[in-house]
Amino acid sequence: MSKEIIDQLIFRVKEHAIDLNLDSFSFVFHGGEPLLARKAFYLYFVGMARKELSFLKLHFTLQTNGTLLTNTWCRLFDSLDIRIGISIDGPKNNHDQYRIDHAGKGSYDRVLRGFQLAHSSPFLHHKPGVLSVININASPLETYTHLLQLGAKQIDFLLPEATYEKPPPLPGLDKWWYSLTPYANWLIAIFDKWILEKEQVPVIRQFQLIIHSILGGVFTADNLGSLHNEVLVIETDGGIEAVDGLKSCGHGFTKAGAHLKDHSLSEALQTRLARLYYLSHELLPLKCLACPVNETCGGGTIIHRYSPQNGFNNPSVYCNDLLKLITHIQNAIIPLLPPELVKETGIKPLDHFKALRIIQELFPTIQEPDYIRELKYQ
């Protein structure tokens, strides 16, 4: 990304923040691999942002595979207050199944070296978090235990990107978590261990967000919750697009013709796909409207609702998994809460199968909202 594009971006952020009277803003350096950029890029970017956006509380994060990390990088990130996350999918044999280099070789050993360097670096005051895409054929408890042994303090387990055209991988028939809800079973195995941990309890984002929602909290996240998804992607040439995961829906899917030179961020958010993503927890498919946990689930990630036939007018391909996971967590935390809090929040046990019956009963009674036409994105 050139200095010209950086300057255009910061101008657009300033314009946007003033128009909307914002008090904070987040920049996420992503990729590809963001450490392929030179250190001068980060010095210039963060320096310009802090100069021009001094009226905002700024947050900078970076997601890396860790293979290029050095102490020099760690010193730079700490000086610029950039927090980092590193992608690790579990033990070596599981990680290397999908995380390979251009030569087809697994990257685990290099990723581990980078993670350990960052984790022990005297220059990083904020230890790296871990992003882990679920390998459904890997043991959930082995994966969780391995990340704990590495010293991970923050873990974000991600469902694999999938659509109705490209459904998620299924576990082998020999896996005990094989069922109609394998991803729920996989995560539940970890949750049941995590919720009872007495020592070294990591922050697991999905579990904490679900608990927060069950207790009445609201939040913004692309895969859960009821608030808007306030995210745009800026490509290196200045193109403004909806979140990059939507590229899995098809070639050129996120190209909307918006550019920093000609469009404000507010205008870019009004392009059709970006608007659907922004409102994805509000513009729900019919089945989601009948669901008793839709304020927690938010219909899941909009990417996982896509089919070439109906656009985003489908429940998530992980719908049953999300329903089972959320109801399981709700039932699990009730006995652990003070009785007065249970009474105050009105939380009640909700059986997974009862929730399915509620959906089946309510679904035929729901009138189709006008926005359904928007969801049928082609």
3-state secondary structure 295-328: HHHCCCCHHHHCECCCECCCCCCCHHHHHHHHHH
Domain range annotation of the chain: 3-214
Record the tokens describing residue 153, joined without a space: 């303090």
The pLDDT of residue 378 is above 80: no
Report the pLDDT averaged over residues 280-292. Answer: 94
Residues in contact with 58: Cβ distance below 8 Å, sequence separation at least 6, in sequence order: 24, 25, 26, 27, 49, 50
What pairing do the DSSP bridges indicate for beta strands 233-234 and 57-64? unpaired
The pLDDT of residue 297 is above 70: yes
**Longest alpha-carbon distance in the chain:** 61
- Residue 377's pLDDT band (cuts 50, 70, 90): confident
Over residues 298-330, the pLDDT tens digits come to 999 999 999 999 999 999 999 999 999 999 999
Long-range contacts of 226-233 (CB under 8 A, 24+ apart): 226/281, 226/282, 226/295, 226/298, 227/281, 228/278, 228/279, 228/281, 228/282, 229/277, 229/278, 229/279, 229/280, 229/281, 230/278, 231/277, 232/265, 232/268, 232/269, 232/274, 233/30
Record the tokens describing residue 24, joined without a space: 């904070």
Over residues 51-61, the pLDDT tens digits come to 999 999 999 99
- Residue 200's pLDDT band (cuts 50, 70, 90): confident
State percent of the chain over pLDDT 70.
Answer: 100
Determine the pLDDT at residue 155: 97
pTM: 0.94
Categorise residue 216: left if φ over 0, alpha if ψ from -120 to 50, beta otherwise: left
Report the pLDDT averaged over residues 171-176. Answer: 95
Categorise residue 335: left if φ over 0, alpha if ψ from -120 to 50, beta otherwise: alpha
User: Fold for domain 3-214?
Assistant: TIM Barrel (3.20.20)
